[in-house]
């Protein structure tokens, strides 16, 4: 899941800039972790501890205020609601990467991905986005053939992942839905040549950059192996002790799965 966190941090300064180039510095003074990282770590904590996911999402959100949470999610968390709100926003997909690394059958991955989404994003598109992202990570861990990974995801989830980024980039705009974020993030991975290239691809689409890069980053980590050390270390420096400790515990427990 570190790949998702690194993608979030690198993408954080591009979220509303409409970046349409792959030529940009990976880290700048304003680089920071956002809600993507906070809620990804909350899901990892859920997998590790077995605590109630709603309680964990509330706790993490209140512990890390001002991290660019979506409007509907913020209302849900601030009210400490326990009822989902039928969202199909990309928040369901941005936090799911730990599921793709933690489980060893596609059935378990899909079940836990649905559970991770449904506490808030219980709309079918929200669940589909989370499941497709987690499944892509699962397949990327096991398959060396990107075409086979693509076929599996397309056949299971009905996304068309055939477009090239050069075709998407000119007209693609900021969009917070799963259905207009997850396919694009996956296409950024499929067209990549390395973890770093995947992150640059995702951000260069000019959309919801931190979330695109977070989704792409999780899949790219699974496929290419470890996140490049320099990128990982720079990102870890921006996390506090609590987040770092949970990331380390997750990576230690599921080291054989990454």
11-53 pLDDT, tens digit each: 999 999 999 999 999 999 999 999 999 999 999 999 999 999 9
**Please, what's the b/e burial string for 55-93 (b: 16 or more CB within 10 A of its CB; e: otherwise)?**
ebbbbbbeebeebbbbebbeebbeeeeeebbebbbbbbb
| Burial class of 198 by CB neighbour count within 10 A (0 to 12, 13 to 18, 19+) | buried
* pLDDT value at residue 255: 79
* pLDDT value at residue 258: 59
Q: Give the Cα separation of 37 and 250 in Å (integer).
A: 14
Q: Residue 24 CB: number of other CB atoms within 10 A?
A: 14
Backbone conformation region of residue 80, classed left if phi is above 0, alpha if psi is from -120 to 50, else beta: left
- The confidence band for 93, taking pLDDT boundaries of 50, 70 and 90, is very high
* pLDDT value at residue 89: 98
Q: pTM of the predicted model, to two decimals?
A: 0.97
Each residue's pLDDT tens digit, 174-230: 999 999 999 999 999 999 999 999 999 999 999 999 999 999 999 999 999 989 999
Each residue's pLDDT tens digit, 47-73: 999 999 999 999 999 999 999 999 999
Fold of domain 2-257: ADP-ribosylglycohydrolase fold (1.10.4080)
Each residue's pLDDT tens digit, 71-83: 999 999 999 999 9
The CA distances from residue 101 to 33, 49, 150, in Å, are 21, 16, 18
Cβ atoms of 217 and 195 closer than 8 Å: yes
């Amino acid at each position: 899941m570190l790949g998702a966190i690194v993608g979030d941090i690198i993408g954080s300064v591009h979220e509303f800039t409409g970046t349409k180039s792959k030529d940009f510095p990976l880290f700048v003074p304003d680089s920071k972790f956002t809600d993507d990282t906070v809620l990804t770590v909350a899901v990892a904590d859920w997998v590790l501890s077995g605590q109630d996911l709603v309680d964990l999402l509330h706790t993490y959100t209140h512990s890390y205020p001002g991290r660019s949470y979506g409007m509907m999610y913020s209302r849900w968390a601030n009210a400490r609601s326990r009822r989902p709100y039928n969202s199909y926003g990309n928040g369901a997909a941005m936090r799911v990467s730990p599921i793709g690394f933690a489980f060893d059958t596609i059935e378990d991955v899909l079940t836990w991905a649905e559970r991770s989404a449904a506490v808030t994003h219980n709309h079918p598109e929200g669940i589909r986005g989370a499941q497709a992202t987690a499944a892509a990570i699962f397949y990327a861990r096991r398959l060396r053939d990107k075409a086979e990974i693509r076929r599996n995801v397309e056949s299971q989830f009905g996304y068309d992942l055939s477009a090239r980024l050069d075709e998407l980039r000119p007209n693609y705009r900021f969009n917070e839905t799963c259905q207009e974020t997850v396919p694009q993030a996956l296409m950024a991975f499929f067209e990549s040549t390395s973890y770093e290239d995947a992150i640059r691809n995702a951000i260069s689409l000019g959309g919801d950059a931190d979330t695109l890069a977070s989704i792409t980053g999780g899949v790219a980590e699974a496929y290419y192996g470890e996140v490049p050390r320099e990128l990982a270390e720079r990102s870890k420096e921006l996390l506090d002790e609590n987040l770092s400790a949970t990331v380390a515990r997750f990576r230690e427990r599921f080291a054989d799965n990454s």
